[in-house]
Structure 1
Amino acid sequence: MLRKIIHIDMDAFYASVEQRDFPELRGKCIAVGGNEQRGVIATASYEARKYGVGSAMSSVIAKRKCPQLIFVKPRFEVYKEVSNQIREIFNEYTDLVEPLSLDEAYLDVTNNYKNVEIATDIANEIKQKIKERTDLTASAGVSFNKFLAKIASDYNKPNGLYIITPKMAKNFIEQLPIKKFHGIGKVTAERMQMMGIHTGAELKELSLEKLRREFGKSGQYYYNIVRAIDNREVNPSRVRKSSGSETTFNQDLESIEELQLALFPLMEDVWNWSVKKSIYGRTITVKIKYNDFTVTTKSKSASFPIKDKKLYDQICLDLLHEGFTGDKPVRLLGVSISNLENEILIGKQLIIPFKDLY
């Protein structure tokens, strides 16, 4: 039996929440995150995207592309509240919901609480309820596997809905540009184009052996998706692999004393997450990015989850001292924990119960 998968993706989520809550920002070019001097943009409004401003772009470059760009400080607590409202809507239809982030998720509605047979009807209902309850728009993709549902949700943005049926899949994928394949990144797409591969049809001509030889383990994934094969299930209990916090400074920091003061709130963010979730890590990492954009990371792993706050603090500070060279200013600091184990699974290695190839 073919599954019925919906991928819901909120439209310019952070920026849309800001424009909803602050009418003076509506219709304006705004960027959430960063500022005119430095930083990285989290999300840009659709008005700004017309100028080429996008997520993960340097704020300096974004301002150059769009001189009228307005920078807005993120309000993550608000975004989380809205995300929870949206997930409540998802849960009205199925418990097979796999959140990917605050603003997107997969739903398996093959069997759903409302016994609606047509997945497109469910997607329309969800979009309508999101608009009614949050005054925001979402785009939806509907198909028989996760790969195609994800591609479909991006097809008619914003406020779009697109369906890829089994009969459509072959022609749709063969005509799809390589750079539009979810799971094929920019660098890999450029490499494929150098090989003369520009569309799904051209990718499909390569044998499995050739793909494995050129792209290693990812070759199997490329071979499958171009044939509409994606057997991954929607997994509501997806395990998080790490948690972290980082910040880019308005002005570069030069002394170890300044860096220590800047590191403390990041350490607290990560520790508070661990305490709240009762999930602790065996590995702590401190990241230092200098003003020439070189990056140093220092990590320390224990044979047990680090649950002692004093030990955690000491390791973080030791890693900072170990990583800081002192010969150039620092523009960014970060702290993260990984090799996570919760209190139920202490002493056992976490097993990732899903095959996530992208």
Structure 2
Amino acid sequence: MDNIRKIIHVDMDAFYASVEQLDNPDLVGKPVAVGGNRERGVVAAASYEARKYGVRSAMSGKMAALKCPHLIFVRPRFERYKEISNQIREIFFEYTDLVEPLSLDEAFLDVTENKFQNPSATLLAKEIREKIKLKTGLNASAGISYNKFLAKTASDINKPNGQAVILPKEAEAFLEKLPIEKFFGIGKVTAEKMKKFGIHQGKDLKEYSLQFLTKKFGKSGLHFYNIVRGIHMSEVQPNRERKSISAENTFEKDLPTQAEWEDALKGVFEELMRRIEKTGIKGRTITLKIKYKDFTLQTRSKSFDQYPDKEKIWETVLELLNQERLTDAVRLFGIGISNLNLLEEKIHFGKQLWFEFEDF
């Protein structure tokens, strides 16, 4: 492959928790959870010290406290996180205008043609991480490859405070050894379904035909067929328009009762509210996503003329839950808002652009 792109995925290390430790030295080296408390709420982020005990984002505060009894809970400060995120983004734009933010703490950069005319994406990533550390005091990890999926996968390899590159010639062998749950677009539920077919690693997935994958996984089958072969043609989109905001959770055990459904939905709802508060975005359509234990998927939606507030959203979620009787035990709930208060601009996806270079 002579003509390929150079993509960097930069991912801040335990961003919210690291900001709290930066601003409060008493928290350094201690297990910290941002968001939630010992009785209720949802963890928005966990420090690496907390992760050693199994504390993860989107986990209930009650469960997090059980896993780590000496866990320190702090209230999220999204304005502070946005402030530092903007500083980091300014660094990105010093190198390229092709920046696609995924959230406050991660972004894709296309540095195939960059403002420093540096042919080495690896050296650029190292420079960017050093500048972030100098300007903010925070650590970032990075992944470098020829497409977004591989770059994002690479950024996890040497976390925290590291980077990794997946060269074109290494991609096939790397993907064959990659555990199936590490593939982009393959969540816990899909991974479990694949394992029933004997698909545990990329090499197993590669043995199945496009026809089989499409039959078993619908439209996602084509995506799975491509990514295991290192094919992911999505370009870095600096003007990507958000169409919706959502949160969902797959449960450790299937939930059969009304009380369990409402309790589980409350956790998903609180995570959605956190994301809405973080972005300041509102939506006129509320959607409830239900996945049953047999993987059957159902969605229920309701739209409003005005943007509903927090209380109205929760009221609507319960209304959608009880709109008609659920047919089985539930393994996943998701809540989303769409018809956002953003100017909808049509995105034109142009032809794939390729550039020649020698070094990564």
Residue 299 (1) aligns with residue 302 (2): yes
Instruction: State the AA in 1 paired with 2:131.
Output: K
Higher alpha-carbon Rg: 1
Aligned counterpart, 1:61: 63
**What is the rounded CA distance, in whole Å, between the counterparts of 2:317 and 2:212 in structure 1?**
44
Cα deviation digits, residues 207-249 of structure 1 (max 9, x gap): 000100110000000000000001110000010113589xxxx
8 Å CA contact 1:41–1:58 kept in 2: the answer is: yes
Cα deviation digits, residues 74-100 of structure 1 (max 9, x gap): 000000000000000000000000000
Aligned counterpart, 1:239: 241
**What is the rounded CA distance, in whole Å, between the counterparts of 2:187 and 2:179 in structure 1?**
12
Residue 339 (1) aligns with residue 342 (2): no
Task: Classify 1:28/1:228 alpha carbon distance in 2 versus 1 (closer, same or farther; 3 Å).
Answer: same
TM-score (norm 1): 0.76
Aligned counterpart, 1:178: 180
1:2-41 pair list within 5 angstroms: 2-41=4-43
**What is the rounded CA distance, in whole Å, between the counterparts of 1:40 and 1:188 in structure 2?**
24
Identity, % of aligned pairs?
Answer: 58
Task: Classify 1:354/1:69 alpha carbon distance in 2 versus 1 (closer, same or farther; 3 Å).
Answer: farther
Partner residue of 1:122 out of 124, 138, 151: 124
Partner residue of 1:111 out of 102, 110, 113: 113
Aligned counterpart, 1:290: none
Root-mean-square deviation over aligned CA pairs: 3.1
8 Å CA contact 1:297–1:323 kept in 2: the answer is: no
Instruction: Give the gaps of 5 or more residues in structure 1.
Output: 246-265, 275-279, 288-295, 303-310, 328-333
8 Å CA contact 1:2–1:144 kept in 2: the answer is: yes
8 Å CA contact 2:214–2:220 kept in 1: the answer is: yes
Task: Classify 1:157/1:319 alpha carbon distance in 2 versus 1 (closer, same or farther; 3 Å).
Answer: closer
User: How many pairs align?
Assistant: 299
Instruction: State the AA in 2 paired with 1:4.
Output: K
8 Å CA contact 1:173–1:200 kept in 2: the answer is: yes
Instruction: State the AA in 2 paired with 1:96.
Output: L
Task: Classify 1:319/1:158 alpha carbon distance in 2 versus 1 (closer, same or farther; 3 Å).
Answer: closer
SS at match of 2:53: coil
Instruction: Give the gaps of 5 or more residues in structure 2.
Output: 248-272, 289-298, 323-333, 351-360
**What is the rounded CA distance, in whole Å, between the counterparts of 2:49 and 2:218 in structure 1?**
40
Partner residue of 2:48 out of 37, 46, 58: 46
Instruction: State the AA in 2 paired with 1:147.
Output: F
Deviation at 1:160, TM superposition (A): 1.1
Task: Classify 1:317/1:232 alpha carbon distance in 2 versus 1 (closer, same or farther; 3 Å).
Answer: closer
Task: Classify 1:318/1:25 alpha carbon distance in 2 versus 1 (closer, same or farther; 3 Å).
Answer: closer
Task: Classify 1:74/1:180 alpha carbon distance in 2 versus 1 (closer, same or farther; 3 Å).
Answer: same
Aligned counterpart, 1:249: none
Instruction: State the AA in 2 paired with 1:338.
Output: S
Aligned counterpart, 1:285: 286
Aligned counterpart, 1:209: 211
**What is the rounded CA distance, in whole Å, between the counterparts of 2:83 and 2:69 in structure 1?**
32
**What is the rounded CA distance, in whole Å, between the counterparts of 1:314 and 1:133 in structure 2?**
37
Instruction: State the AA in 1 paired with 2:151.
Output: A
TM-score (norm 2): 0.75
Aligned counterpart, 1:157: 159
Task: Classify 1:354/1:51 alpha carbon distance in 2 versus 1 (closer, same or farther; 3 Å).
Answer: farther
8 Å CA contact 1:7–1:140 kept in 2: the answer is: yes
Cα deviation digits, residues 110-131 of structure 1 (max 9, x gap): 0000101100010000000000
Deviation at 1:300, TM superposition (A): 1.9
Deviation at 1:338, TM superposition (A): 2.0
Deviation at 1:193, TM superposition (A): 1.0
SS at match of 1:233: coil
**What is the rounded CA distance, in whole Å, between the counterparts of 2:128 and 2:77 in structure 1?**
25
8 Å CA contact 2:38–2:61 kept in 1: the answer is: yes
8 Å CA contact 1:178–1:200 kept in 2: the answer is: yes
8 Å CA contact 2:287–2:337 kept in 1: the answer is: no
8 Å CA contact 2:286–2:313 kept in 1: the answer is: no
8 Å CA contact 1:238–1:353 kept in 2: the answer is: no
Query: Which protein, 1 or 2, shows the higher relative CO under an 8 Å CA cutoff with sep ≥ 6?
Result: 2
**What is the rounded CA distance, in whole Å, between the counterparts of 2:11 and 2:213 in structure 1?**
31
SS at match of 2:82: helix
Deviation at 1:284, TM superposition (A): 3.8
Runs of 4+ with >6 A deviation: 313-316
Deviation at 1:148, TM superposition (A): 0.3
SS at match of 2:101: strand
Deviation at 1:313, TM superposition (A): 6.2
**What is the rounded CA distance, in whole Å, between the counterparts of 1:354 and 1:323 in structure 2?**
38
Deviation at 1:182, TM superposition (A): 2.0
Cα deviation digits, residues 227-276 of structure 1 (max 9, x gap): 0001110000010113589xxxxxxxxxxxxxxxxxxxx8xx87x946xx
Aligned counterpart, 1:260: none
1:68-79 pair list within 5 angstroms: 68-79=70-81
